[in-house]
């Protein structure tokens, strides 16, 4: 059997062809209300299908937030399954934002739920939490390599509470966040044109020059739009690693729904601003 193409190579191609933008699919109750939809499974389905139909053919990555589907139980998860399948069929890579983290067979089961090619929720990549120790992610790393998928590991997140863990200093003088970046650099060593093991690093964090962000893999950068960061901030935050940044925008795009044309226009605006910010003069 031919080995599947690694996620990093597929992501690099998608970013080069479609631009680096990642659009979140976050159907929380207040956004459903803004769209004039009921906070129920039917509203969830209409919201998700509208986003996919409007933008999946135009962006590199779509990132459904699993929690907003799970809250409706099995019917909500069924909507998530259809959302993933339809987004991938339209050519977008799907990053499942589930932030799973556990140990042993439980971590393996979480990985199988999203990264096994026969799974109903099979996605191109998964967000994971390393804060039971980076080694606890080993089952997910192994399955990602086998299935040609990727991981995005929480490293330096945009929420203010994250600093109490991620900026804590270890006995060797490195912060926890820097330690996670170091692990990812080892995972991605020798991979071209881009490794499959990425980091989540907030675009709102300002000067990160003390961190080595150039770890050979992609960087998912939340915080663009509603959280206050702009595409113009990306070079200053990410330095020489900016070419590998996947800026995530959720509300900044989604608030323009349910009008499909307005959603597409918002995507085009953000994509162009990102392209202008990260392209060398």
Q: Which residue among 13, 49, 88, 99 is the active-site one? A: 99
Residue pair 29/63 in contact by the 8 Å Cβ criterion: no
Write the CA distances from 168 to 47, 130, 137, 179, integer angstroms.
40, 14, 20, 10
Q: Quick one: tokens of 238?
A: 């990410």
Residue 281 in this model has a pLDDT that exceeds 70? no
**In which band, very low, low, confident or very high, does the pLDDT at 208 lie, cut at 50, 70 and 90?**
very high
63 catalytic, yes or no? no
Average pLDDT over residues 119-124: 98
> What percent of the chain is predicted at pLDDT more than 70?
99
Polymer length in residues for the chain: 281
| pLDDT tens digits, 158-191 | 898 999 999 999 999 999 999 999 999 999 999 9
Instruction: Assign 94 to helix, strand or coil.
Output: strand
Measure the CA angle with vertex 107, ends 105 and 110; round to 5°: 110
Joined together, the tokens standing for residue 39 give 């906070």
What average pLDDT does the segment 120-145 reach? 98
Domains of the chain, first to last = 7-275 (3.20.20.70)
Q: Kindly state the average pLDDT of the residues 236-264.
A: 96
Determine the average pLDDT of the residues in 219-236: 90
End-to-end CA distance of the chain: 44
């Amino acid at each position: 059997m031919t080995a599947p193409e690694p996620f990093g190579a597929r992501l690099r191609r998608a970013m080069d062809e479609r631009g680096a933008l990642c659009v979140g699919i976050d159907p929380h109750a207040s956004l459903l209300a803004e769209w004039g939809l009921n906070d129920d499974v039917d509203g969830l389905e209409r919201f998700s299908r509208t986003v996919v139909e409007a933008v999946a053919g135009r962006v590199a990555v779509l990132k459904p937030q699993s929690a907003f589907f799970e809250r409706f139980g099995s019917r909500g998860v069924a909507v998530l399954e259809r959302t993933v399948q339809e987004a991938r069929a339209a050519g977008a890579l799907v990053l499942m934002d589930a932030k799973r983290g556990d140990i042993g067979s439980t971590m393996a089961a979480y990985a199988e739920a999203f990264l096994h090619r026969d799974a109903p929720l099979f996605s191109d990549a998964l967000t994971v939490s390393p804060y039971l120790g980076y080694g606890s992610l080993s089952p997910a790393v192994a399955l990602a390599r086998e299935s040609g998928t990727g991981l995005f590991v929480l490293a330096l997140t945009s929420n203010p509470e994250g600093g109490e863990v991620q900026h804590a200093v270890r006995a060797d003088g490195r912060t926890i966040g820097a330690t996670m970046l170091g692990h990812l650099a080892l995972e991605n060593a020798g991979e071209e044109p881009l490794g499959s093991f990425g980091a989540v690093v907030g675009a709102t964090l300002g000067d990160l020059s003390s961190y080595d962000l150039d770890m050979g893999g992609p960087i998912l950068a939340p915080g663009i739009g509603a959280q206050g960061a702009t595409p113009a901030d990306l070079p200053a935050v990410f330095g020489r690693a900016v070419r590998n940044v996947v800026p995530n925008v959720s509300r900044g795009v989604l608030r323009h729904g349910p009008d499909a044309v307005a959603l597409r226009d918002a995507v085009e605006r953000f994509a162009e601003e990102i392209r202008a910010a990260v392209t060398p003069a």
